Structure 1
Amino acid sequence: MQQYLSTLEKSWFELYQHYQFSEPQKVFNKLIAAYSEKQRAYHTLQHLYECLILLESIRADLKDAHAVELAIWFHDAVYDPPAKDNELKSAELFEQYLAQDLSIDIIQKIKRWIIATQKHKVTDELDLQFLLDIDLAILAASPERFDEYEQQIQQEYAWVDPDVYSIKRKQVLAHFYLIEPLYQTEYFQQRLEQRAKSNLKNIIE
């Protein structure tokens, strides 16, 4: 955890410089605590860190990089593996924490983006395309990281019967494998598409 904290702190307090949150340290502490909850194995500070590192590589391509960064911070702020409304609750938490600091337009946009990370539907909104691609970039990880990711997801679903989990997990990954293209932005299609499809193929076959 410690190795991620300095990067996370830098990201958060740069957002504070931009938006001038009224209680930056308090919200930061709450988010770090949320991503460190014991029911999490994948949706952790590691995932948050990996998303923010990817954001840096495409920051210049975004229309509103600060809003995308804020959406990344909150997109898994609420995570209960059996629940079906984590994204909605994460969006509501974002509003609860920062409504007094941001314009209604920004609040509504970022809430909509956070909720969109549930279904990953195709969109023509460039910033949202990048956000969704960043969230799925793990599928194109190195073989070692991809194996770790699969183990982490399995840990989060330890409450599910192993045989049922195995069937359902393959269905989820097969769904991603069949999406053409998997990534919505040209940037991610060129860099990650092939590796993601290879990782997915290895699991479902």
Structure 2
Amino acid sequence: MPSFQQQFRQAWQKLLPQFLPEHWSVEQHERCLEKLLHAYQEPQRAYHQLQHIVECLALFEIVQNQIEDALAVQLAIFFHDVVYQPRSASNEQESAMLMRQQLAGALPETQLDKIANWILATQQHAVASESDLAYLLDIDLAILGSSPQRFAEYQQQIRQEYVWVDELIYQEKRHAVLRQFYLAQPLYQTRYFQQHYEQQAKANLKQALA
């Protein structure tokens, strides 16, 4: 099976034909890819790294027939965690800004605005008014409804990112986050994720909160 880096690279390269060649060259596409790869392999990341993006892209492939602006959703996936510092509260804002810098001129300004707003929305995961955004947010949270084994790995990865936090404080804060997800009715916003991930997510969260 290809590595996460290979899968990430292949998915990015598939996007090239969707850009207008007069505004976006093969060289720009490759430079942007290298910047993304470098970012997602930074040492402070354990969960917010290539694996997470590849898993999100795989889910996009499954639901893409339900999505109107496929390019925007994929770009939002690629860029939504491109800036990630566990101690920072502005990761989403900086990720949206970096996306704008990298793709300036490559897409219409209205599309860049939309992608930026979607990246910002991944911070709060509020109820979305747009169908595409609802799918993006559900894709981002699909890890909660993964297999018990993958969910356990995810829990360990998040703890690793916050290794500098005292254990008691971490457990208290983490419990509050997971409880908020557990109490959400429903957790997922789209029918597909409600049907395929909701039940497992609630089981995983209940186990984690026990």
TM-score tier by shorter-chain length is over 0.9
In the other structure, the counterpart of 1:35 is 40
Matched with 1:19 is 19
Amino acid at match of 1:57: I
Q: What SS is found at the alignment partner of 1:56?
A: helix
Q: Distance in 1 between matches of 2:39 and 2:9?
A: 15
Which structure 2 segments of 5+ residues have no match? none
1:203 maps to a residue whose letter is: A
- In 2: Cα distance, 1:137 partner to 1:159 partner: 26
Q: 2:171 is aligned with what amino acid?
A: S
Q: Which residue of 2 aligns with 1:9?
A: 9
Q: Following superposition of structure 1 onto structure 2, how do residues 41-120 of structure 1 map, counting pairs within 5 Å?
A: 41-120=46-125
Describe the superposition over 1:89-111 as per-residue Cα deviations: whole angstroms up to 9, x where unpaired: 00000001001211100110000
Letter in 2 for 1:54: L
Match of 1:169 in 2: 174
Which amino acid in 2 is paired with 1:171?
Answer: A
Which residue among 147, 152, 167 is the counterpart of 2:152? 147
Opposite residue 61 of structure 1, the aligned amino acid is Q
Deviation at 1:10, TM superposition (A): 2.0
Q: Which secondary structure does the structure 2 equivalent of 1:202 belong to?
A: helix
- Which residue number corresponds to residue 190 of structure 1? 195
The amino acid that maps onto 2:46 is: A
> 1-side partners of 2:90 and 2:67: how far apart?
28
Amino acid at match of 1:63: E
- How far 1:11 sits from its partner (Å)? 1.4
- CA offset at residue 158 of structure 1? 0.7
- What TM-score do you get using the length of structure 2 for normalisation? 0.95
Which stretches of structure 1, 4 residues or longer, exceed 6 Å deviation after superposition? none
Encode CA deviations 1:34-88: one digit per residue, 9 max, x unaligned.
0000000000000010000000000111001111000000000000001001001
Tell me the CA shift for residue 159 of structure 1. Answer: 1.2
Does residue 1:129 correspond to 2:121, yes or no?
no
Instruction: Give 1:164 deviation, angstroms.
Output: 0.1
Q: Deviations over 1:101-124 (max 9, x none)?
A: 111001100000000000000012
CA RMSD of aligned residues (A): 1.2
Instruction: With the length of structure 1 as denominator, give the TM-score of the two structures.
Output: 0.97
Q: Where in structure 1 are there 5+ consecutive unaligned residues?
A: none
| d(CA) in 2 for partners of 1:30, 1:126 | 29
Identical amino acids, percent of aligned pairs? 50
Work out the CA distance in 2 between the residues paired with 1:110 and 1:124: 14
